[in-house]
Structure 1
Amino acid sequence: MPFTPVNKVRLVTAASLFDGHDAAINIMRRIMQSKGTEIIHLGHNRSVYEIVETAIEEDVQGIAITSYQGGHVEFFKYMKDLLDENGCSHIKIFGGGGGTILPSEIRELENYGITKIYSPDDGRTMGLEGMIEDVIMQSDFPLIHEVEPKVILGKLKDVRKIGRLITLAENGILPTTSHQQSTSCVLGITGTGGAGKSSVTDEIVRRFLNNFSTETIAVISVDPSKKKTGGALLGDRIRMNAISNKRAYMRSLATRDSDVALSAYVQDAINICKAEGFDLIIVETAGVGQSDASILNYVDVSLYVMTPEYGAASQLEKINMLDYADVIAINKFDKAGALDALNDVRKQYKRNHNLFTA
């Protein structure tokens, strides 16, 4: 019988630093997703610091890494040390690297505290799905306790506590947070799937951090859960090049429902970030359809991201966000027809807002 987890399992997946071989980790994380796991995927060539920072901010149960670059012993040991130093010894570490990781090195790493390094022999005896189920089984434990306050990784905010509070909210056991005096601005970014919302978000984060020297920023990013399996690819961090900063925090949420663009717990996550005093909070939705405008209920300013490829101009009349968005961004403007799209969107905006003399 296939293993069914009791808890919602969240894992960080990546290929190690200086490793361009991402075929294996992509196969593994897709199988994990098919078994109901929420995957925060970082792609390839990721450092220990980036992986640990992500694991702590996202409050995951485990990290799964492929490493074919030869420096695996030092890489995995440093990851374990960094987790321990920052009060996150509970996060499991799983790895694999085919024949590049010798049996003696596997024993050394597992004796050091790495949860499991999978060998080619494990692949033969357990199979791909067997190894994945083993990872999920060992990561299937609840995260239901508040953590002691501790500023870690040089961050200005206690990102470990923030991550756990959001997890508690998702589990329905969030303590009351006070944000009555909050002056945080909440920016909502929404748009169709593939419009480039994450890239736009990353550019806003980069410019915010460059232009302000002390202000802090939080990003709450939502991706859809699969109706068939309940799993989710929370892949927006792949596009985030500026988020690894002492003044920044990011948390990925799965919708945990179908046919919606936001998690039911997004307001809780916003409230937690407000209570922590972030100056700017960005909420990025999953890809939306023409009728969706749910982001408006949660934000102070809304940004609708679209591309020039929306079909005929009449399609613009069906997009609800063109009625309500404070800002409209036509992304991927280098594509053919972009200037025509700009003209059409301007016309539709004027019609929607009765600006016939503008």
Structure 2
Amino acid sequence: MASPIRILTAVPICDGHDSAINTINLEFIRHGIEVVYLGYHRSVGDIVRAAIQEDVRAIGISSYNGGHIEFFAEVIALLRKRGANDIKVFGGGGGTITHQDAAAMKRKGVDNIFFAGTSLAQMTDYVRKHYGKPRKRSRPRSPDQELPQKLTEIEDAYAAGRKHRARKAQSKIRSPQGVHPSRRAIRNTRVVGFTGPGGAGKTTLIDELVLRFLNQSPQGRIAILSHDPSVIGEGALLGDRATMINSQNDRVFMRSMATRGEAGGLSPATQDCLALLARSGFDYVIIETVGTGQEAMPFQKTGLVDQTVLVMNPDYGSRLQLQKIVMLDLADIVVVNKSDLQRARTAHTEIEQRLEQNRRDQRLIDTVAKRHRDAGVDELFKLISRGSK
């Protein structure tokens, strides 16, 4: 089976109109398309960086605030400057983009503009027809382009049932700095796994940790491998980027993956993709699972995770529920996020008692990831940094 079509959708900077794009995203997903949603108020640089890292077939831009001719043109110009000519651009804007504007935009390289009244079925058919075919690639200009393409090769190999090709794809890769990773570089990459139920705030917490890393290491680089759920043959909304602010940075590499029917919160290709990232010269690689249930043990198979962090919401139910959560036995660090909520103190006490039964050196931390300069997030960052090799 071929891999699903991957596209990126976004709303331009100074534009907060996201109702239309959210509706369109859902329609794409229903028809087997994997959508990396970047969110609204996104700059040209943010969009192009994400599109290259995600190795998407096309970028769909929803623009309702004007300035669309210039904005679309700048996206295309930056794609070409970075050697990503194979990533196409399409979009729409209800009644704000006129037919005359659309003609000018097409002359600048935009594939297509959807006008008010275009049906969702027409949009979906267009994407599947124009971006579902094999594409012609030019040789990557830089390691930053080569790495995303290698990750795509790994995912494609698993989708086609050819795992040996996945191993081959990750066997040769230059580091993002342009130096082939040595054994020393591999040892110096720390891999931290984050898991926990949906809505616990994993993505926001990771984004805050990224901010602290960037501030502490002016020359450092960090990679994030995030996961969202999907079933075989269906699409997926890969939306973690939409809630990330600090991770919109050239020193942060992020790749979104759909589970494609795999149980446990990861993708069939995760292990090989993680191995590739771990030997590509990053200081840290963070892997985030989908929202997981009581039985999930997502990091026990890979052997590449140095440290596991379980992120929980204070409102998990009764004490009996704690006895059922397997990751409480396995996690190195347990985080009670959203600890400003009413039940947080009780949750901390109950989880602490549960961890004491394990008789392991586990740490329990309270955080409010959305809070600026949260002391709990600072403590978590120190714990992760302290464990660095």
Q: Which residue pairs with 1:177 in the alignment?
A: 171
Q: Which residue pairs with 2:318 in the alignment?
A: 312
Q: Which residue pairs with 1:339 in the alignment?
A: 345
Match of 2:294, SS state, is coil
From 81, 86, 89, give the equivalent of 2:85. 89
Structure 1 distance, partners of 2:87, 2:132, is 11
Q: Which residue pairs with 1:188 in the alignment?
A: 193
Match of 2:357, SS state, is helix
Q: Which residue pairs with 1:283 in the alignment?
A: 287
Q: Which residue pairs with 1:148 in the alignment?
A: 140
Structure 2 distance, partners of 1:219, 1:188, is 10
**Matched letter for residue 291 of structure 1:** E
- Long gaps (5+) in structure 1: 151-157
Encode CA deviations 1:172-225: one digit per residue, 9 max, x unaligned: 134242664412110000001111110111111111111122221100001111
Match of 2:218, SS state, is coil
Match of 2:91, SS state, is strand
C-alpha distance 210-249 of structure 1, shift in aligned 2 (>3 A): same
Contact 2:228-2:257 at 8 Å conserved across structures: yes
C-alpha distance 93-336 of structure 1, shift in aligned 2 (>3 A): same
C-alpha displacement of 1:245: 2.1
From 97, 100, 118, give the equivalent of 1:104. 100
Match of 1:304, SS state, is strand
Match of 2:140, SS state, is coil
C-alpha displacement of 1:344: 0.2
Which consecutive aligned stretches of 4+ in structure 1 deviate over 6 angstroms post-superposition?
Answer: none
Aligned pair count reads 339
Contact 1:33-1:233 at 8 Å conserved across structures: yes
> Is 1:211–2:211 an aligned residue pair?
no
- Long gaps (5+) in structure 2: 158-164, 173-180, 362-389
Percentage of pairs with the same residue? 38
Encode CA deviations 1:127-153: one digit per residue, 9 max, x unaligned: 221122212321113368684242xxx
From 315, 322, 326, give the equivalent of 2:328. 322
Structure 1 distance, partners of 2:79, 2:278, is 27
Structure 1 distance, partners of 2:259, 2:16, is 31
**Matched letter for residue 270 of structure 1:** L
Structure 1 distance, partners of 2:84, 2:360, is 55
Structure 2 distance, partners of 1:137, 1:60, is 15
Which TM-score applies when normalising by structure 2? 0.83
Match of 2:300, SS state, is helix
C-alpha distance 213-330 of structure 1, shift in aligned 2 (>3 A): same
Encode CA deviations 1:249-280: one digit per residue, 9 max, x unaligned: 10001111154310111121122212221111
C-alpha displacement of 1:19: 1.1
C-alpha displacement of 1:99: 1.7
From 145, 148, 164, give the equivalent of 1:160. 145
C-alpha displacement of 1:40: 0.6
> Is 1:133–2:125 an aligned residue pair?
yes
Match of 1:134, SS state, is helix
Match of 1:341, SS state, is helix
Which TM-score applies when normalising by structure 1? 0.90
Match of 1:251, SS state, is strand
From 36, 39, 43, give the equivalent of 1:43. 39
C-alpha distance 86-100 of structure 1, shift in aligned 2 (>3 A): same
